[in-house]
Amino acid sequence: LKKVRHESPMLSLDKTKEVTALESFLGNNKGILSYKMDGLTVVLTYKNGELSQAVTRGNGEIGEDITHNAKFFKNIPLKISFKGELVIRGEAIITYSDFNRINEELPEMDAKYKNPRNLCSGSVRQLNNKITKERNVNFFAFALVSADNVDFKNSRKCQFEWLKSQGFDVVEYKVVDKDNIIDTIGWFERAISDNDFPSDGLVIIYDDIAYG
């Protein structure tokens, strides 16, 4: 697979297990709380309304070109109404139900995949896109990097809503502040047991783009 350098480095998230740290992080600001999807991070670029490139995160600075496979993701729009250049980041994932089905279909002599993340990584990085198509890979956008001449009113929530209007599935999220963040984390904690998609935590970002 061809190596591609990202326009801006994809840095790692800071981590905490203390809910009170998130209250402190927010201060008097609003935040966007969402699932941290457990798959393979992919960067998509659209030009003139069409998908032009898909690149894996790789080491954060250099990823692999998987455009030939991304076109066969189950829920990715190949064409959008926006005609400027759009760059978004998201997570490619395989659901638990598809993971179990695929593992059951593998011949006994083949090694079974340990988890959906490993299966997704192997599926997305195939040279043969027929295999990718059969694996039912889904894409959930979690960050808008750039969109030519679109006013998002300095709001991440506005970006998410705009991405939905273009036909993208975005990661499930809720708007939080220091008063409701603990209750909202509890909601995610209860909901996760019923989810068919793998996640390994929560992510919080500021809604205010400039402040963030």
Chain segment 56-92, per-residue pLDDT in tens: 988 888 889 999 999 999 999 999 999 999 999 999 9
Task: Using the structure block, give the residue that is written with the tokens 């759009």.
Answer: 86
Assign 194 to helix, strand or coil.
helix
pLDDT at residue 160 in the model:
98
- pLDDT > 90 in the chain, percent: 74
Of the given ranges (15-24, 73-82, 109-118), which has the lowest mean pLDDT?
A: 109-118
pLDDT at residue 28 in the model:
96
Are 77 and 88 within 8 A, CB to CB? no
Closest CA to 168 of 202, 144, 195: 144
Q: What does the DSSP 8-state code read for residue 127?
A: S
Q: Which two tokens stand for residue 12?
A: 């790692």
d(CA 32, CA 207): 6
Are 156 and 212 within 8 A, CB to CB? yes
d(CA 8, CA 1): 20
Longest dimension (CA), the chain: 57
The set of catalytic residues is 36
C-alpha gyration radius of the chain: 18
pLDDT at residue 109 in the model:
62
d(CA 52, CA 62): 18
Q: Who contacts 131 (Cβ-Cβ below 8 Å, separation ≥6)?
A: 123
